[in-house]
Amino acid sequence: MITAGDFSNGVTFELDGKVMQVVEFRHVKPGKGAAFVRTKMKNVMTGAVTETSLNPTDKFENACVERREMERSYKDGKHYYFMNMETYELEPVDESVLGDNFKFVKENMPCTIYSYKGKVFNVEPPTFVDLEVTHTDPGLKGDTATNVTKPATVETGAEVKVPLFINTGDRIRIDTRVGEYLERSK
């Protein structure tokens, strides 16, 4: 059990059957009346952020969110399979759990799997990935000094905007958090 007075950033707890994570909190002691804790919290399953005031003595059940490093193995229908690198067991994850940034993940890439009571609710890909450009319009000599971009398809099938000097066959680094080109990679 945890009380609202013991909150700190990152703490996870159960509230009305939902798993919440403290994003921000502030102990408030007004001149009149009782003290309270103003809390900004995020529902870890849906990502919805809410702000509320709680009594410092309110008690909540601790929620233990499990984080595991697993490797993407293959896709079968609507499920992606991830391999636990310690036990070599495969775990299916429904594609509805995956975010938009998962389009940059190819087979054998490590991902972080988040689950609560055995139910997977989030798959976080690596922050940066190096992928090969499989199709883009040819670049022209001298197209290096401008901020103009063109679409390019990478080996996972995802499309990303790249500078004009990038050609088919080049390897590029992509930031999966925002889905943007960062640099050429080796």
Task: Indicate the pLDDT class of residue 141, thresholds 50, 70 and 90.
Answer: low
Distances (CA, A) of 167 to 50, 140, 171: 45, 9, 9
Pairing of strands 171-175, 119-124: unpaired
Fold of 128-184: OB fold (Dihydrolipoamide Acetyltransferase, E2P) (2.40.50)
Give residue-wise pLDDT tens across range 34-93. 889 899 998 887 778 899 988 888 899 888 888 889 999 998 888 999 998 889 899 888
User: Would you say residue 166 has pLDDT above 80?
Assistant: yes
Average confidence (pLDDT) over 117-141: 85
The closest of 114, 120, 112, 92 to 176, measured between CA atoms, is 112
> How many CA atoms does the CB half-sphere of 91 hold within 13 Å?
21
The string of pLDDT tens digits covering residues 89-112 is: 998 888 888 888 888 988 899 999
The Cα angle at residue 80 between residues 46 and 111, in degrees rounded to 5: 70
Q: Domain limits of the chain?
A: 2-62, 66-124, 128-184
* 24/89 Cα distance (integer angstroms): 37
Choosing among 3.40.640.10, 3.40.50.720, 2.30.30.30, 3.40.50.740, the CATH entry for 2-62 is 2.30.30.30
Q: Please calculate the CA angle 47-49-54 and round it to the nearest 5 degrees.
A: 130
Which pTM value belongs to this model? 0.71
Nearest one of 177, 179, 139, 140 to 160, comparing CA atoms:
179
Is domain 66-124 given the CATH code 3.40.50.300 in the classification?
no
Task: Tell me the three state secondary structure of residue 130.
Answer: strand
